[in-house]
Amino acid sequence: MEILKKIFNGFTTILVLLVVILAMLLAGVRVFGIDIYTVLSGSMEPTYQTGSVIYVKDVDDPYSLTEGDIITFAISGGDTLATHRIIEVVNENGTVAYRTKGDANDMADGSLVSPENIIGKPIFTVPKLGYLISYMQTKPGRLFAIAGGALILLLVILPDIIFEDEDKKKEKKKAREREDEKNE
């Protein structure tokens, strides 16, 4: 019975650890000034695959960006973001702007990116994690997350409930044995 308890505790420890790692990947990185975004199109494949999550760090000096850098930026006049590679630094009348293009696209983007529209530079990616994030934003996904959290909590508490009787029996047996030894 003791071996079963150890296996169960090991399993739940690994499960909780995985949940903590996932939470750090999804929210904890924000503590370090990193934003996360889901890749919704294949314009940057194979560098960033559709469904991946990219982790984007602010650029200290957007004027220091060079050709070949990958940037995440707000498309002019909207809330839409894109992550594309800089293919040319344009300097017209002392104003700097960037011509960008998705790695999988045949043509450059239609408009230049001004430094004010730059969100940051991707620093790493986790493939396929974006699908999980998208699912978790749906009603069934939220219900699944709540049920999963409740299940993990139950799995953490369950060994104490199941094995408590066994531990009590062992303690009572040891107490009886000590009492018997005293009486002899």
Hey, what amino acid is at 67?
A: E
Specify the pLDDT at position 54: 95
Question: Which among 41, 76, 111, 134 is annotated as catalytic?
Answer: 41
For the chain, list residues with pLDDT below 70.
1, 77, 163-169, 184
What 3-state DSSP class applies to 99? strand
Those residues whose C-beta lies under 8 Å from the C-beta of residue 121, and which sit 6 or more positions away, are: 56, 57, 59, 65, 69, 70, 71, 72
Identify whether 64 is a catalytic site residue. Answer: no
In this structure, which long-range contacts are made by residues 82-90, counting pairs with CB atoms below 8 Å and at least 24 apart in sequence? 82/43, 82/109, 83/37, 83/39, 83/44, 83/48, 83/54, 83/56, 83/122, 84/43, 84/44, 84/109, 85/44, 85/47, 89/65
Specify the pLDDT at position 57: 95
Determine the distance from the C-alpha atom of residue 111 to the mean position of all C-alpha atoms in its chain, rounded to a whole number: 31
Specify the pLDDT at position 145: 87
The pTM of the full predicted model, rounded to 2 decimals, is: 0.71
Specify the pLDDT at position 43: 95
